[in-house]
Homo-oligomer: A and B are copies of this chain.
Amino acid sequence: MTKDHARPLTIGIDLGGTSLRVASYSPAHGILQSLCLRTRLEAGPIAVVEDMCDAVQDLMSRDSSADWLGIGVGSPGPLELPAGRLHHPPNLPGWDGFPLLEELQTRLKPRIVLEGDANVAALAELHHGLGKDMQVDSLCMLTLGTGVGNGIVLNGKLWHGVTGMGGEAGHMTVDREGPECGCGNRGCLEVCASATAIVRAAERLIDSGKAKALAELKEQKRQLTAFDIATAARSGNEDAIAIYGETGRALGICLAGLINILNLPLYVVGGGVANSWDLLSPTLFEELELRSYVYRLTAPGRPAAGGMPNGGTQVKPAKLGDEAGLLGACLLPLESIEDTRAADVAIVN
């Protein structure tokens, strides 16, 4: 088979603190085959890199007629780019200073594109989720899970900042006297609106002798989750309702700032906490109306919404779920991070 007939494919790797997922991807047909492994954190970063490479070789050997455009890797951060080095990643203990990109490049032939996991999710949402539905080429995504990730796409390209550390709105201060965060700050979005923050807020109430029903629930379940608290809120528990109300406010304060700074057509809220959109969105939109005059002018139906795609600034829960990380990683080699990579994009589209 000549190169002319080779199918252009990519490989995507979604590196998480718990699991490692690897897939082959066709721009025409989506994900072809995928593998899911446990991330062997106890064996150290080199062992995990070797597991990644074995999985990649396995998938590549199954498709000998492919023209491999590259390998996209989504990694927990903080990630220094273009160096591709990790700095104290909270979800990958023992990886501080690890040159992930370099270690992969030594072991694998195709071009490797490394990216923070929140950026990867934003890219997936742009090309396969809300961004595609709304035909926008700029968006800002906040991923509310154990922590809070953030990815910003401007004019179709991920915004990295000069050292790959842009898009850390998860550590923007929303309450200057708020709880302490692992990042060293206090009152970041992450300690006010992540799944962890929701559980901690419930535990603070329980510890202070309030929230009797949540205390009983904790007694039953041993460990509360953000989902348990959402279920309690939906059954009418006032404390749980208040916790999600505060989560929506924190998220609204952060998004109001992002709307004022960036004036994008679409803001996406993803991660597990976004499943409780019904509980957090009322206070979220109250804060947007209060705190962002850009939102007040550009929300659907407002005076300056006319110039915007889809009739105004949209703030919505993510369309893609857990698969966003793997799908986005597969898309990375098709993206141009540097201008020199633009040619690849032209080939595959």
* Chain B positions within 8 Å of A167 at CB level: 261, 263
How many chain copies? 2
- Say whether, besides A87-B304, A261-B169, A261-B258, A159 and B163 are in contact (CB < 8 Å): no
Q: A35 interface residue, CB < 8 Å from B?
A: no
Interface positions, chain A 139-193, Cβ under 8 Å from B, are 150, 152, 154, 159-169, 171-176, 183-186, 188
A138, A176, A258 interface centre (most CB from chain B within 10 Å): A176
Interface positions, chain A 215-239, Cβ under 8 Å from B, are none
* Chain A interface SS verdict (over half): loop
Q: A291 interface residue, CB < 8 Å from B?
A: yes
* Chain B positions within 8 Å of A150 at CB level: 261
Partner pick for A307 among B163, B183, B263, B264, CB 8 A cutoff: B163
- Say whether, besides A176-B253, A185-B256, A261 and B166 are in contact (CB < 8 Å): yes
- Give the distance to chain B from A47, nearest Cβ to Cβ, in Å: 25
Contact, CB under 8 Å: A162 / B261:
no
Partner pick for A293 among B154, B160, B171, CB 8 A cutoff: B171
Q: A260 interface residue, CB < 8 Å from B?
A: yes
Stretch at the interface among A50-58, A75-83, A278-286, A316-324: A75-83
Contact, CB under 8 Å: B138 / A298:
no
Q: A294 interface residue, CB < 8 Å from B?
A: yes
Q: A290 interface residue, CB < 8 Å from B?
A: yes
- Say whether, besides A161-B262, A185-B290, A297-B78, A257 and B172 are in contact (CB < 8 Å): yes
Partner pick for A257 among B173, B296, B297, CB 8 A cutoff: B173
Q: A308 interface residue, CB < 8 Å from B?
A: yes
Contact, CB under 8 Å: B176 / A308:
no
Q: A45 interface residue, CB < 8 Å from B?
A: no
- Say whether, besides A138-B162, A176-B175, A260 and B309 are in contact (CB < 8 Å): no
Q: A194 interface residue, CB < 8 Å from B?
A: no
Partner pick for A172 among B97, B162, B261, CB 8 A cutoff: B261
Excluding A171-B294, A174-B176, A258-B261, 4 further A-B contacts by CB distance (< 8 Å) are A162-B309, A167-B261, A169-B257, A171-B292
CB<8 Å pairs between A and B, sample of 29: A78-B293, A78-B294, A80-B297, A80-B307, A85-B304, A154-B159, A162-B264, A162-B265, A163-B307, A163-B308, A165-B298, A166-B262, A168-B260, A168-B261, A168-B263, A168-B293, A168-B294, A169-B260, A171-B260, A171-B291, A171-B293, A172-B256, A173-B253, A173-B256, A176-B253, A183-B293, A184-B296, A185-B292, A186-B291
